[in-house]
Structure 1
């Protein structure tokens, strides 16, 4: 495995239209089909507003997981929302590369949001999705179709291969061992690639200084069981950014309460 930004992306098809929701299948530059859902701004269901928030879920998430739908509902009170499932998750094709080639999935989804008519597209990523949002913000900064106009990373790691907590040691077992990947497929409904990164992608902390001039927000809970507070502090120190350390918060979208989601939506819609 191993990839930075490459090639073009395409809309494969619009698979269904339901009242207020548009489901589509997108195709990434490396040929992976990605499921995506567009939800219009709650106050503007009959017109296109100028801002869309693209949500990048954490490892083992998908567009239909309750925490992702809850975040989408909160964000849709401030702007249009586009959610999607990373490769190897939900009904998307391919296998998860745990944050590497997923940058192509996010780029394809941001491009689709612009195809829908949004002139301002911002990204918010949770955990693995946060690391992807940071790298995407750096790698696609100068791409008029796929760039993010603002980036928020929630519960994101600063560096790769971290094993300093019990949850991260368990995650490494799931990702790197054949038995763990079986647990991932059948227990966590996540299909994981069986090859190591080659080359190793840019670490999130190295992406941070390349995101400017787009605004960057780093959000992290002080009770995160996966990544301790040195991760968000390292990210915030690496380049221009705003840092929110949330008292009592755990990890990623499952731990983000409605008040935090509303503050995130306010920041993303105004940044």
Structure 2
């Protein structure tokens, strides 16, 4: 993945119908390497306007967070907007809807091809002029940021994975058994489409993608933070511990007392601490 602005090559592109909002925010559709339009939003952090008071100037070459939401989320979900707002005190933020979610095109592959969606968002963030990029993923998005960093070394400056699985096909909890029904059964996919605004691909993985535990050793020396709640109802604590054991010395683990699963359970104080860690780690 190059650091050229999106839209200047054969990879991901920005469609021309982007919208510029207040204080330099931008909403547009990125085009992934396999041609999927991905609904994306850029919100400049306060440092942008401290450095460039004129909104028409180039954005600050400072820190930008690229947020990868969980399964059935999208860029307009309140919990995604809340995480974005909490991180904006530390830098600019790019949020986007994974394929099959919200207004993005395509169908969800539940963590496989979504790496291409994240790659397009990271390239866009670089193209906006930011020198430091930190990916922050939740649940499915947490697995995607790990695989992206492993498959595209050097494209990000730090990685934060929250509430992610360590291995595929886990069915050890009731929520994960329900999720597998949603993904693998025609009736479940109908519930996903009409009840959860998530269009799910009917095909099985072929080949099976690199698992998160297989990905983390390939991320070094990029700083890696694994965050997990001790009351996560989807993935018990053996998942983050497996990730950190596989990653080695370059990974840090935060086990959060009383925290449940993913964005809905990540309180603003925790997101602010993640922002502090990222500022230091991506330095």
Which bin holds the TM-score, normalised by the shorter protein?
over 0.9
Aligned to 2:188: 180
CA distance in 2, matches of 1:58, 1:268: 20
- 1:121 pairs, out of 122, 133, 138, with 133
CA contact (8 A) 2:157 2:222 kept: yes
Q: Which segment drifts farther, 8-17 or 30-39?
A: 8-17
Q: What is the Cα deviation at residue 213 of structure 1?
A: 1.0
CA contact (8 A) 2:47 2:60 kept: no
Q: Which segment drifts farther, 40-49 or 184-193?
A: 40-49
CA contact (8 A) 2:175 2:234 kept: yes
Aligned to 1:48: 60
Aligned to 1:3: none
Aligned to 1:15: 18
CA distance in 1, matches of 2:107, 2:221: 33
Aligned to 2:178: 170
Q: What is the Cα deviation at residue 42 of structure 1?
A: 2.4
Aligned to 2:257: 247
Q: Which runs of no fewer than 5 residues in structure 2 stay unpaired? A: 1-9, 54-58
Q: RMSD over aligned Cα, in angstroms?
A: 1.0
Q: State the aligned residue count.
A: 261
Deviation track 1:75-101 (CA, whole Å, cap 9, x = no partner) reads: 000111000000000110000000000
CA distance in 1, matches of 2:280, 2:72: 30
Query: When the two structures are superposed, what TM-score results if normalisation uses the length of structure 2?
Result: 0.90
CA contact (8 A) 1:49 1:79 kept: no
Q: What is the Cα deviation at residue 14 of structure 1?
A: 4.6
Q: What is the Cα deviation at residue 161 of structure 1?
A: 0.1
- 2:33 pairs, out of 29, 34, 40, with 29
3-state DSSP of counterpart to 2:136: strand
| Equivalent runs, 1:98-247 vs 2, <5 Å | 98-142=110-154, 147-239=155-247, 240-247=250-257
Deviation track 1:13-46 (CA, whole Å, cap 9, x = no partner) reads: 3521111311111000110000110001124334
1:267 matched to 2:271: no
CA distance in 2, matches of 1:209, 1:130: 15
CA distance in 2, matches of 1:135, 1:14: 30
Q: Which runs of no fewer than 5 residues in structure 1 stay unpaired? A: 1-6
Q: What is the Cα deviation at residue 269 of structure 1?
A: 1.9
CA distance in 1, matches of 2:165, 2:226: 11
CA distance in 2, matches of 1:215, 1:14: 36
CA distance in 1, matches of 2:230, 2:32: 36
CA contact (8 A) 1:13 1:26 kept: no
CA contact (8 A) 2:162 2:228 kept: yes
CA contact (8 A) 1:181 1:191 kept: yes
Aligned to 2:6: none
